[in-house]
Amino acid sequence: MDAFTVLTGVVAPLDRANVDTDQVIPKQFLKSIHRSGFGPNLFDAWRYLDHGEPGMNHAARPRNPDFVLNQPRYEKAAILLARRNFGCGSSREHAPWALLDYGFRCVIAPSFADIFFNNCFKNGLLPVVLSESEVDALFYDCASFPGFQLTVDLDQQSVRTANGSKVLHFEVDPFRKYCLLNGLDEIGLTLRQTDKIRAFEARRREQFPWYFR
């Protein structure tokens, strides 16, 4: 996993609540057996005017000019600004994979669905929770200032504007922060507890043998 330390990037606003992972990456693209290559199909049904299928030349497909990511000012966006309950629905990790593959490294929203939130941390994509009013104000900034950028500093747990006019604080779980700052392999960390796991397992097998049949 790539480490996440400080990110400065253009912010793209996605102004709708309850964006589900079926929208983030539609089901026809889940047939891949790889982790990469999902970027061209991020928000596929909203982004293109035709129906997308794996294997198409997506660069040649007709774009929906009204969709935010198709607007030139958001072309190089690295931060997605979203509304409440972002990432609800399916557990597909293809959703954070698609966001990352597209070029996003951070999603800011007032709230996230649990499984999506969890999946982000496993992949070096930082989900940042800010208050409804803070998010509202950022939507306003995005609309008002073409090329609006933010700097997200994980160590400082801050989101700030380029000129420092606004500095917002966010909370993050200390363990997740540590893993993300250092790009750590969580499996490797867990395997340091191998003796404990073995001991637990042996006790459980003894006490509840029917779970090991």
Partner 1 sequence: MGQTLYDKLWNAHLVHEEPDGTALLYIDRHLIHEVTSPQAYEGLKLAGRKPWRSDSVVATADHNTPTTDWELGIDGIRDVTSRLQVETLDANIKHYGARAYFPFLDKRQGIVHVIGPEQGATLPGMTVVCGDSHTSTHGAFGCLAHGIGTSEVEHVLATQCLVAKKMKNMRVTVDGPLPRGVVGKDVVLAIIGKIGTAGGTGCAIEFAGSTIRALSMEGRMTVCNMAIEAGARAGMVAVDDTTIAYVKGRALSPSGPQWDQAVVYWRTLVSDPDAKFDREVSLDARSILPQVTWGTSPEMVVAVDGTVPDPDKEKDAARREGMERALQYMALTPRTPITDIRLDKVFIGSCTNSRIEDLRHAAAVVKGRKVASSIRSAMVVPGSGLVKAQAEKEGLDRIFRDAGFEWREPGCSMCLAMNADRLEPGERCAATSNRNFEGRQGDGGRTHLVSPAMAAAAAVAGHFVDIRNWR
Pair of tokens at residue 140: 């306003």
Pair of tokens at residue 98: 């698609």
**Choice from 3, 8, 35, 156 touching partner 1 (CB under 8 A):** 35
Can residue 204 be called a binding residue for partner 1 (CB under 8 A)?
A: yes
What phi and psi values does residue 88 have, to the nearest 5 degrees?
-75, 165
By rule CB under 8 A, what string of x and - marks binding of each residue 77-96 to partner 1?
------xxx--xxxxxx--x
Amino acid at 90: S
For 22, the enclosing helix (H) or strand (E) is helix 21-24
**Choice from 30, 137, 181, 184 touching partner 1 (CB under 8 A):** 30
Q: What distance in Å separates the CA atoms of residue 167 and residue 153, rounded to the nearest whole number?
A: 11
Which residue from 100, 130, 118 is spatially nearest to 24, judged by alpha carbons?
Answer: 100
Q: Which is nearer to partner 1, 85 or 151 (CB)?
A: 85
Per DSSP, 112 falls in state: B
Can residue 41 be called a binding residue for partner 1 (CB under 8 A)?
A: no
For 176, the enclosing helix (H) or strand (E) is helix 174-182
**Choice from 6, 49, 167, 191 touching partner 1 (CB under 8 A):** 191
Q: What distance in Å separates the CA atoms of residue 162 and residue 160, rounded to the nearest whole number?
A: 7
By rule CB under 8 A, what string of x and - marks binding of each residue 146-185 to partner 1?
---------------------------xxx---------x
Footprint on this chain of partner 1 (rule: CB under 8 A): 16-18, 20, 22-23, 26-28, 30-35, 45, 51, 54-55, 83-85, 88-93, 96, 111, 113-115, 118-119, 122-123, 173-175, 185-187, 190-191, 193, 196-197, 200-201, 204, 208-213
